Amino acid sequence: MNVSLVQQFPPTSGNPRNSEGAFLRGKSGEILFAYSQYAGDSNHDHATCNVALTVSRDEGLTWSEPRIIARAKEDFGTQNIMSVSALAQEKGDLSFYFLVKENDFSTSLARARSSDGISFVCERCGVGFPRAYYVINNDRLVRTRSGAILAPAAYITAEQNRNGGGVPYTATCLVSHDDGTSFVKAAFDFTTTDRTNVRYGLQEPGILETETGFYYWMRTGYGRQYESVSQGALEDLCTPCPSPFTAPPSPMQIKEYDGVWYAVYNPIPRSNGYETREYAGTWGRTPLVIRRSSDGGATWGPLNVVEDDPTRGYSYPALFKTDDGHLLLAYCRGDGADGNNLCRLGIARIAINEIQ
C-alpha cells in the first residue's frame, strides 16, 4: 500500500508538541484541519495548549501555514484546550469541538464555530453532566441519524485527577440533543472487573452508529481493544468484552465511508512478526495499520501497514475521505528526539483502492 506523507508539524522552540486533530469540509470545498498546538517549553498533557487550523485547497496534497483559532487563556481562562473533533452544525455552521481543562481539575466541552470557515467564535457548551475529569479523544464526536451528537468519554473524578490519576477510568458517553449547545451524560457506565492492569480501566472510547444500533470500543491495558454492541438504543450497549483488535494501551479509530468501515490502530507487534523492543518515547505504539470491513465489522481484511518504524510511535488517528478517492489520515508520529510519540503530527494520503 502506497502511503504519501504530505505534511508534518514537528516540535520547535516555543512549540514543543503538535498533536491530535480532526478534518472538516469547508464552505468553498477546501479541507480544514484543526489540531492541538502546544506553546511554551512543556509537551505534557496539561501544559499550555491552543487550537490551530491549517487549510488544504487541493484535497490534502498541500497545507497552509497554521493559525490559532482558539486560545486557552484568552478565550477560556485556562491553560489547556485540546483533543479536537469536527462537525457541521444543523444550520450549516462549521464547528471544531475540544476539551477545556478547567482550573478545578475537571474538564468541559467548547467549540470554535464559524459561518464561513475563516472567522471563528469561541463558545462553551452547556454542562449538564456531573463534574469530573472527562477524556474525549480527537475526531470522536458523531452525529446520529436522529440528530443527536455523541461524545464518547472516559472519566475519573476531578480529585483523582488532582492527585495525578493512576486510577482506572470509567467509560460512558456525553450526549447533546440541541446541536452541541449543551451536553448531558448517558445513563451507562462501563468499568472493568479485570484487576491484572487496573491502572488503565476502560479508556479513550469511540462510537459508530450501525444499521441497527451502535458499536462502541475502548482502549485498555489488557492487550486488546474492548468492544460493546447495541442492537437498538445507546443505553442498550452490552457489557464490554475483548475485541478482535490486539493493541497496547493506545487508541483506535473506526469510521464508515460509503458503507465500508475503516479501522486504524496499533496491533501488538509480537502478534504480527515485529520486534518487541520498545524505543524511548514510542510506548509500544508501532506499527500503525489500517483495515477495512465491507460487512459492518463482521469480518475484516488484512493489516495494511501505514508506518512501522520501530523508533517511532503512532497514535491518535483522524480520518477523512477526499473527493478524489483517498483517505486523509492524521496521526502523531514522534520519536525520542521529538520528546515522545505525541510531539510530532503528520498527515498522510492513502488511495482507497489500495486498501485491501
CATH of the domain at 14: 2.120.10.10
Per-block average pLDDT, block size 10, for the chain (356 residues)? 97 98 98 98 97 98 98 98 98 98 98 98 98 98 98 97 91 98 97 71 97 97 95 97 95 98 90 64 94 97 96 97 98 97 98 97
Residue 36, C-beta contacts closer than 8 angstroms, at least 6 positions apart: 17, 18, 19, 20, 21, 49, 50, 51, 52, 81, 82, 83, 84, 98, 138
Q: Is the pTM of this model over 0.85?
A: yes
* Beta partners for residue 171, in sequence order: 154, 190
Cell digits for 125?
457548551
C-alpha cell at 200: 488503565
pLDDT value at residue 112: 98
Q: Which parts of the chain fold into alpha helices (H)?
A: 72-76, 158-162
What pLDDT shows up at residue 269?
73
Residue numbers of the domain that contains 8: 3-354
Q: For the chain, how many structural domains are there in total?
A: 1
* CA–CA distance, 164 with 121 (Å, rounded to integer): 33
Which value, in Å, is the radius of gyration of the alpha carbons in the chain? 19
What's the confidence (pLDDT) of residue 192? Answer: 83
Per-residue confidence (pLDDT) for residue 195, from 0 to 100: 66
pLDDT of residue 274: 53
How are beta strands 214-219 and 224-230 bridged, if at all?
antiparallel
